[in-house]
Amino acid sequence: MKQFLRNNGLSLCFLILFLGSWLGQIIFGLLEYNKERLEAGFSSVPLFTYLKSGHFFQATFENWQSEFLSVFVIVLLSIYLRQIGSSQSKPVDAPHMETGNN
């Protein structure tokens, strides 16, 4: 387990940050959605109803498009791909080490 955490710390960190921010979006999106509904004279909705609403999907995909999706792609691709001159890339000339004892 310790080896797994050491070898996958960056991915796990980004996953935790992603899930935490998505949870925050869900909570504050629900509050905003219910506020708008109450101002329009409708009743508020519970969480699971909100998760099926267009408001939730719109907010989620806007955030994924602008922030999380691009970061996720950069992280994933920088793990496996190399690019000469890129600071995010592994060195092109260095040997690829599957399991290192560093």
Residue 28 covered by a domain: yes
Q: What is the spatial distance between Cα 26 and Cα 86, in angstroms, rounded to a whole number?
A: 35
Q: How confident is the model at residue 83 (pLDDT cuts 50, 70, 90)?
A: low
Q: Is the pLDDT of residue 42 over 90?
A: yes
Q: What is the mean pLDDT of residues 3-8?
A: 83
Give the domain extent around 54: 2-80
Task: Point out the least confidently predicted range of 22-31, 42-51, 52-61, 76-85.
Answer: 76-85
pLDDT reported for residue 92: 58
Residue length of the chain: 102
What's the pTM?
A: 0.62
Burial, 30: exposed, middle or buried (Cβ in 10 Å; 0-12, 13-18, 19+)?
buried
Residue 88 covered by a domain: no
Residue 22 covered by a domain: yes
Residue 100 covered by a domain: no
Number of separate domains in the chain: 1
Q: Is the pLDDT of residue 30 over 60?
A: yes
